[in-house]
Amino acid sequence: MPNRTLTLGEFLIDRPEEFEYDNAELGQLLNAIRLAGKVVSHEIRKAGLVDITGTIGSTNVQGEEQKKLDVFANEAFINTLTNRDIVCGIVSEENDEMISISGSDNRNRNKYVVVMDPLDGSSNIDVNITVGTIFGIYRRVSPVGTPVTEEDFLQPGNLQVAAGFIAYGTSTMMVYTTGNGVNGFTLNPAIGTYYLSHPNIQVPTKGNIYSVNEGGYVHFPQGVKNYIKYVQQEEEDRPYTSRYVGSMVADVWRTILLGGIYFYPPSTGKPDGKLRLLYECNPFAFLLEQAGGVATDGTQRILDIKPTDIHQRMPFFGGSKEMVEKAMTFMK
Ligand code: AHM
Ligand code: MG
């Protein structure tokens, strides 16, 4: 039986083995993220009650319309991390350029950079469906005390020191890894405390759910079409069940818990798919692998890809080991 009374705060203090180095600094950084998550959760719970779910008319770097809550979440995370003087730079889906944080003495001595999608799946807010914050944390490669550079963010995902997400669903949950397995915490909103609810999460090696936006079928490569036909065949344990929320946080979390495969393939209009390598694919790839799952772009391990652009897109196939490996045989 898991210890149901262990809080995230206690967990961070009790498990120094979670942090390979700089225990205190990385712990403080995760504390800042969990705090901003509470602020965003509180705001999201008011959606529909106040005039906050409409668009504000501006577009972000991908040319998509921003929602007010996207902007709120982006500011909540940036302000929390900046005010606590805990990182030297941030890349956010909502900001075209990387954010360089100068630090209290204009010589930023912080070691970490954060990549994040402050509110993923935000088109789902107006219809009361789960959205989430996705984050990845890296050690900077530029010297401490100098301004952050793009190279600090263009590191392969296998160099993440921590990654995770906060899901704002039927409950608010924070799930993260520092490379020592994956643990999930559920927020008790009455007292604002996250409790360890999902210790040492393991992805089943096989499941029976496939998750993809099949509306794009005609534009998928032949290998992806063939794989979709395969999962729909009446043979052995197939056809699989289809589930697609359209919020990566919800779709991948379900895949982690129940097993299955989630994919966002390339298509004729989107040769690199839709998902962003830095702050969508890599954090989930790290979580999946830490929980015994697999994440690839169809042919290679996501975590080994060296990014070339901070907002780069990448096809994504993640989930149960046996299922992702099977899907890859169709991509060859
Ligand atoms: P966003 O960052 O603009 O919200 O886009 C990412 C989201 C993912 O959460 C989700 O899996 C995907 O877009 C859904 O896209 P589509 O509507 O093309 O299926
Ligand atoms: Mg997103």
* CATH number assigned to the domain comprising residue 267: 3.40.190.80
Residues 114 and 194 in one domain: yes
Q: Is 274 in the pocket of ligand 1 (CB under 6 A)?
A: yes
Rounded to an integer, what distance in angstroms lies between the CA atom of residue 195 and that of residue 312? 35
Residues 273 and 323 in one domain: yes
Q: Binding site annotation covers 229?
A: no
ipTM for the assembly? 0.96
- For ligand 1, the distance from its centroid to the CA atom of residue 171, given in whole angstroms, is 21
3-state SS, residue 218:
helix
Rounded to an integer, what distance in angstroms lies between the CA atom of residue 202 and that of residue 220? 30
Q: Binding site annotation covers 122?
A: yes
Q: Whose CA is nearest to atom 15 of ligand 1?
A: 246
3-state SS, residue 269:
coil
The amino acid at 13: I
Domain region containing 280: 209-331
Rounded to an integer, what distance in angstroms lies between the CA atom of residue 325 and that of residue 264? 15
Residue where a domain terminates, one of 174, 198, 222? 198
Residues 12 and 134 in one domain: yes
For residue 65, give the ligand nearest its CA.
1
Residues 183 and 321 in one domain: no
Residues 250 and 172 in one domain: no
Q: Is 117 in the pocket of ligand 1 (CB under 6 A)?
A: yes
For residue 117, give the ligand nearest its CA.
2
Q: Are 119 and 52 in contact (CB under 8 A)?
A: no
Residues 56 and 188 in one domain: yes
- Tell whether 204 is covered by a domain: no
Q: Whose CA is nearest to atom 5 of ligand 1?
A: 121
Residues 168 and 314 in one domain: no
Q: Is 50 exposed, middle or buried (0-12, 13-18, 19+ CB in 10 A)?
A: exposed
Residue where a domain terminates, one of 172, 198, 224? 198
- Tell whether 244 is covered by a domain: yes
The secondary structure of residue 50, as a DSSP letter, is B
Q: What are phi and psi of 177, to 5 degrees?
A: -135, 145
Show pLDDT as tens, one digit a residue, over the chain (332 residues). 455 589 998 888 877 666 555 567 898 999 999 999 999 999 999 877 766 656 666 666 766 665 689 999 999 999 999 998 889 999 999 999 999 998 767 777 889 999 999 999 988 988 999 999 999 999 999 998 899 999 999 999 999 999 999 999 999 999 999 999 999 999 999 999 999 999 999 999 999 999 999 999 999 999 999 999 999 999 999 999 999 999 999 999 999 999 999 999 999 999 999 999 999 999 999 999 999 999 999 999 999 999 999 999 999 999 999 999 999 999 98
- Tell whether 1 is covered by a domain: no
Structurally, the chain folds into a number of domains equal to: 2
- Tell whether 203 is covered by a domain: no
Q: Binding site annotation covers 70?
A: no
Residues 218 and 253 in one domain: yes
Residue where a domain terminates, one of 198, 221, 248? 198
* CATH number assigned to the domain comprising residue 82: 3.30.540.10
Residues 185 and 277 in one domain: no
- Tell whether 169 is covered by a domain: yes
- Tell whether 2 is covered by a domain: no
- Tell whether 151 is covered by a domain: yes
Tell me the torsion sign for CA atoms 169, 231, 329, 223: negative
- Tell whether 3 is covered by a domain: no
- Per-residue pLDDT tens digits for 234-259: 999 999 999 999 999 999 999 999 99
Residues 24 and 151 in one domain: yes
Residues 238 and 309 in one domain: yes
The amino acid at 189: P
Distance between start and end Cα atoms, the chain = 44
Q: Is 120 in the pocket of ligand 1 (CB under 6 A)?
A: yes
- For ligand 1, the distance from its centroid to the CA atom of residue 1, given in whole angstroms, is 36
Residues 123 and 234 in one domain: no
- For ligand 2, the distance from its centroid to the CA atom of residue 250, given in whole angstroms, is 12
For residue 66, give the ligand nearest its CA.
1
